[in-house]
Amino acid sequence: MRSFLRRAATGLLFAVVAVLLAILCVPPFLDRVYYRGPVSDHFDGKRFFNPDDARAAGRPSGFSPARMMRFLARSDRAAWPDRVPVQPTLPIAAVTPCQPLTGGVVREAWSRCTSPDRIDPQRMVATWIGHSTALVQTQRIAILTDPIWSERASPLSFAGPKRVRAPGMRIDDLPKIDLILLSHNHYDHLDIPTLKQLWERDRPLIVTSLGNDAVLRRHGIEAVARDWGGQVRVRPGVSVVVERVHHWGSRTGTDRNRALWSGFTVVLPGGNLFYAGDTGMGDGAWVDAAAARGPVRLALLPIGAYRPREMMAPNHVGPEEAAAIFRRLHAAHALAVHWGTFQLSNEAINDPPRLLADTLRRQGVADGRFRSTAVGAPWEVPR
């Protein structure tokens, strides 16, 4: 018995020492410097921060170790299904001659249908692929937001949040992607396997915020990075503005806020496209800045990963706040994203669209203006 206790005590001692060494040694090893530049109202020379919440730096004001332990233990989480059935669709291009064609179209005919020279530039077709990934086709360009086709939102293939809702479109069935908007470096938004596949296939223009281009460059992927307010010209009449939002970034834990987070306004003839990425409400001034860039034809707004509110509110808006952002943007239409794909928080899988619908109904918003669609369901956005 004494021998067993000695061995157990020795093993426990080694475990404690290993944890302490990890705490001391691993974080510096995992830290990365993604960006070097001048100090600004949201960069202290080393790390970025939200200018309206500099002390919190993305940490919720209601944070406590006990609450974090409960969250990580998932004791308060609603049960999600292991899998949600999905029938992937083919992309519906914004074209007139081929609109009636159905899923039985052979690949050659489909390619002819979706060729850029057949697209009516004034039409806009938006398709929620899953999580924050949406395909928007308009002005003869195909735009993809934060593409992720991986099974896990994680650096590991065997651990981390697992996809329960398959992508609404196979990656090989996508039209040629011209523009990718990459909001920040969390694994559910910056997915290297997906980005590598799209980069090798299409060589799209990837627009992101400061520092995220360094993450991509390590994998042979080129991107254009801008600070908040910076612009990137796509083609005559079409440009991207990198927008301030309220969030944070990290890939290893110790590289916290080494790269910037953002939303985007795609300035388009006939009305802009706004994509919020991940964001809390913060002071809300970022919403007004985006609204001031011109009329928003379509806003892509997150509605999920919002519970418990005391932890999630600084970084993730919920359906009620998304409805407020929609009104404050004066957007003509909106599509709900960032829900029902990876279980990142405590709400039930279908709570976000349910609460959104209830909120919009109470506020008297006309049906169809702010939609939560099935994955892969194309929506022709009215002009």
* H or E, element range at 179: strand 179-182
Based on the domain organization, do 324 and 177 belong to the same domain?
yes
CB 165, CB 133: distance < 8 Å: no
Q: Reduced to 3 states, what is the DSSP secondary structure of residue 76?
A: coil
Position 295 in a domain: yes
Position 97 in a domain: no
CB 129, CB 154: distance < 8 Å: no
Based on the domain organization, do 14 and 144 belong to the same domain?
no
What is the pairing mode between strands 179-182 and 205-209? parallel
CB 124, CB 140: distance < 8 Å: no
CB 220, CB 208: distance < 8 Å: no
Based on the domain organization, do 208 and 344 belong to the same domain?
yes
Residue 368, both tokens: 């169809």
Q: What is the mean pLDDT of each run of 10 residues along the chain (383 residues)?
A: 58 54 54 94 97 61 51 74 95 51 40 53 95 97 98 93 97 97 98 98 98 98 98 97 98 94 97 98 97 98 96 96 98 98 97 98 97 97 94
What is the total residue count of the chain? 383
Position 64 in a domain: no
Query: The domain that contains 236 carries what CATH number?
Result: 3.60.15.10
Position 99 in a domain: no
- Beta strands (DSSP E) in 203-359 are 205-209, 224-226, 231-235, 238-243, 263-267, 272-275, 296-302, 333-337
Based on the domain organization, do 224 and 348 belong to the same domain?
yes
Residue 349, both tokens: 């899988």
What backbone torsions phi and psi does residue 141 show, to the nearest 5 degrees? -130, 150
Q: How many domains does the chain have?
A: 2
Contacts for 82-86 with beta carbons within 8 Å, 24 or more apart? 82/164, 83/164, 83/165, 83/166, 84/164, 84/165, 84/166, 84/340, 84/349, 86/165, 86/166, 86/167, 86/168, 86/375, 86/376
Termini Cα distance of the chain: 79
Find residue 95's DSSP bridge partners. Answer: 119
Based on the domain organization, do 145 and 11 belong to the same domain?
no
Q: Residue 42: left if φ>0, alpha if ψ -120 to 50, beta else—which one?
A: alpha
Based on the domain organization, do 166 and 285 belong to the same domain?
yes
Position 83 in a domain: no
Based on the domain organization, do 272 and 185 belong to the same domain?
yes
Position 353 in a domain: yes
Position 39 in a domain: no
Helix/strand number for the chain, H first, E second: 9, 14
In a 10 Å sphere around its CB, with 0-12 CB exposed, 13-18 middle and 19+ buried, how is residue 247 labelled? buried
| Cβ neighbours of residue 14 closer than 8 Å, sequence gap 6 or more | none
Based on the domain organization, do 116 and 209 belong to the same domain?
yes
According to the model, what pLDDT value does residue 73 have? Answer: 53
Position 143 in a domain: yes
Find residue 179's DSSP bridge partners. Answer: 143, 205
According to the model, what pLDDT value does residue 157 have? Answer: 86
What backbone torsions phi and psi does residue 292 show, to the nearest 5 degrees? -70, -10
Measured distance CA(198)–CA(230) in Å, rounded: 24
Residue 241, both tokens: 């503005």
**Measured between alpha carbons, how far is residue 75 from residues 49, 78, 163, 184, 307 in Å?**
31, 9, 20, 29, 13
Based on the domain organization, do 23 and 130 belong to the same domain?
no
What range defines the domain where residue 26 resides?
Answer: 1-30
Task: Give me the half-sphere count of Cα atoms (radius 13 Å) on the Cβ side of residue 248.
Answer: 24
Measured distance CA(180)–CA(338) in Å, rounded: 17
- The 10 Å Cβ neighbour count of residue 106 is 7
Based on the domain organization, do 180 and 312 belong to the same domain?
yes
Residue 278, both tokens: 């991940």
Based on the domain organization, do 15 and 130 belong to the same domain?
no
**Closest by Cα among 110, 182, 175 to 148:** 182
Based on the domain organization, do 144 and 5 belong to the same domain?
no
Measured distance CA(180)–CA(190) in Å, rounded: 11
